[in-house]
Structure 1
């Protein structure tokens, strides 16, 4: 059995690059620094871009750092070494109860929800070829909220029924928007415009449902609509984790098609990509990711919008960055929840309010940046 080897791709020295020999293909290896991972004795070669890989590890380290801080702070303070020992099963009974029973489920729900929103936003922004094409802007998250509200206020279902209704609401909204924006294919600007209109319509439906509900039901629904990790436990984590474990590999398998489609439908078709089938499959999987996150924690705004853009700026990648976007989404959500719980103490805000406040500022900056870029 041959061993795997990790070899670093040679990087051209600074200065004008020499032209390739006559007849030699100009490969991506010559243009972007990175590593090549050789498997099975060299029969399988994978190229690992350097900066996205380093950025991914840095984001993962940041997620773990915030996680340890979140698990250790509160009314009962636990030092970082004791947090690590409790997670490893070597802590005292007190630290084990505080870390693993009280705080860990909430943290894991935040990581799973943030990662799902970040990856979902990356897919939609790539499909729309527009930084505003995130599921919370184009109405898919609002559709999931409508499905959940119907179950909460009309049918009176339990948590599992609410989660299923949120998924069905988001998926139904996405299919309707896709169908209405289809005209000899789906263009990004049509998808965004139809999605914004659908989101406005569904927001009015949600408001109507809230007005017609009883006071107690309306208050409970209003708390859910803000998006919060309060009271989240293993019951919410298990279905979300299972769904994300199935959907994330599906997105990664479709990732090469998504990257080729960013160059344009004509170029992707020339490379053998079934564009419309791939686009529909990506829409369905990304909507399921967004709806799963909404079912677990409520509609949390702007994480799906900001995470892919921040990840792309950190990696300086020309195309979609799925894994860094997921890690950035997880980092934004748990950092926002940590700030809402601890930094603003004794006032504890739902994380959805914190992300909406920060995301609103980010959206204003993004619109200003795009407007200035359009004038050049």
Structure 2
């Protein structure tokens, strides 16, 4: 095996036997910094609560130390919640990066396209219909399954409604058309969720409404298991298709010339994004704007031509875990994590719209 460094006019390449990669020191440092920030927020999320623990004590417990009561608080009470926030953030960040990369539109996120609302409709139908939101077998198995089916059916409906003739004369879909159709479908699904709440009992409606705000209050190991499986699927599919995603950003003609089966690859990637967003929604409720903002923040920080996968996953984790910790540490009463992310995501969406409008005007 030979190891060599090859220097070009712009970048340095590392070659290890038959494998070669481009060295990007600045990007690597930013990714490492984002990972360190996500880890720090994860530990802080465990530290805050009704009884605050010093950060050093949390690290001691996580590495096998601490008293019996401290281990119970950290490992049994708070760790499942923090892990759920982490995997939900990773899933949403990757789901947003995949949809935005494929549709070539920074607004093409699962919550804008209606996928999150479809998942919410399916989960609320189970939670309200069983008369016990957040408890029992129907909540731990039925709700995630119903959310997944709701998200998948919504994605198929949006795709079919957006199918038509492109400006080039070919039949297919465009990113702008999908976003516009998704906004309309999203409004219909939100009204469906509201209708279900009016048909539910006051107790079930109150519990479902708390869930609809994106709450981690009931997060436990039962919620963590399906969210972790979904996050693993999205990570494996996304990283395994990183080169395909890069090719899909180059346009249909160039992508076909590179030997990529566009329709098949798009279906696999969109399916993975829907699975991640739907199961994440079933685990904690709809957490808005993370899938929208995460990839764009990562793209700005890393200065990449497309939405970076690892950076988007880390930013998604930072947003959800940070919002969960902030909701308990910075406010007199604990807020649902979805409320905190919406407070951040609303202004960010306006920023994105103004930025896109300026680009169109200048062009």
Output the TM-score relative to the length of structure 2. 0.92
Cα offset for 1:364? 1.1
Three-state SS of the structure 1 residue aligned to 2:172 is coil
Does the CA-based 8 Å contact 2:296-2:307 persist in structure 1?
no
Q: CA 1:11/1:70 → structure 2, altered by over 3 Å: closer, same or farther? A: farther
- 1:236-255 alignment, distance < 5 Å: 236-255=223-242
Three-state SS of the structure 1 residue aligned to 2:22 is strand
Which position in structure 1 is the counterpart of 2:106? 131
Which position in structure 2 is the counterpart of 1:10? 7
1:308 corresponds, among 271, 295, 300, to 295
Using the alignment, how far apart are the partners of 2:33 and 2:14 within structure 1? 20
2:358 pairs with 1:358: no
Does the CA-based 8 Å contact 2:95-2:276 persist in structure 1?
yes
Which position in structure 2 is the counterpart of 1:36? 14
Three-state SS of the structure 1 residue aligned to 2:110 is coil
Does the CA-based 8 Å contact 1:259-1:320 persist in structure 2?
no
Which position in structure 1 is the counterpart of 2:134? none
Three-state SS of the structure 2 residue aligned to 1:347 is coil
5+ long unaligned stretches in structure 1: 13-30
Using the alignment, how far apart are the partners of 1:146 and 1:52 within structure 2? 39
- 1:301-340 alignment, distance < 5 Å: 301-340=288-327
Does the CA-based 8 Å contact 2:94-2:234 persist in structure 1?
no
Larger Rg: 1
5+ long unaligned stretches in structure 2: 132-137, 165-170
Q: CA 1:272/1:318 → structure 2, altered by over 3 Å: closer, same or farther? A: same
Does the CA-based 8 Å contact 2:213-2:339 persist in structure 1?
yes
Deviations 1:50-94 (A, max 9, x none): 333222211100011112222223333322222111001122223
Using the alignment, how far apart are the partners of 1:34 and 1:249 within structure 2? 27
Does the CA-based 8 Å contact 1:303-1:332 persist in structure 2?
yes
1:221 corresponds, among 208, 221, 226, to 208
Which position in structure 2 is the counterpart of 1:141? 116
Output the TM-score relative to the length of structure 1. 0.89
- 1:55-94 alignment, distance < 5 Å: 55-94=30-69
2:34 pairs with 1:47: no
Using the alignment, how far apart are the partners of 1:372 and 1:261 within structure 2? 25
2:277 pairs with 1:280: no
- 1:105-120 alignment, distance < 5 Å: 105-120=80-95
Which position in structure 1 is the counterpart of 2:167? none
Using the alignment, how far apart are the partners of 1:72 and 1:114 within structure 2? 19
Using the alignment, how far apart are the partners of 2:274 and 2:210 within structure 1? 23
Q: Larger RCO: Structure 1 or Structure 2 (Cα < 8 Å, ≥ 6 residues apart)?
A: 2
Does the CA-based 8 Å contact 1:56-1:324 persist in structure 2?
yes
How many residues are paired up?
350
Three-state SS of the structure 1 residue aligned to 2:84 is helix
Does the CA-based 8 Å contact 2:89-2:290 persist in structure 1?
yes
Using the alignment, how far apart are the partners of 2:217 and 2:12 within structure 1? 42
Using the alignment, how far apart are the partners of 2:172 and 2:243 within structure 1? 20
Which position in structure 2 is the counterpart of 1:175? 156
Using the alignment, how far apart are the partners of 1:8 and 1:84 within structure 2? 39
Does the CA-based 8 Å contact 1:138-1:194 persist in structure 2?
yes
Cα offset for 1:186? 2.4
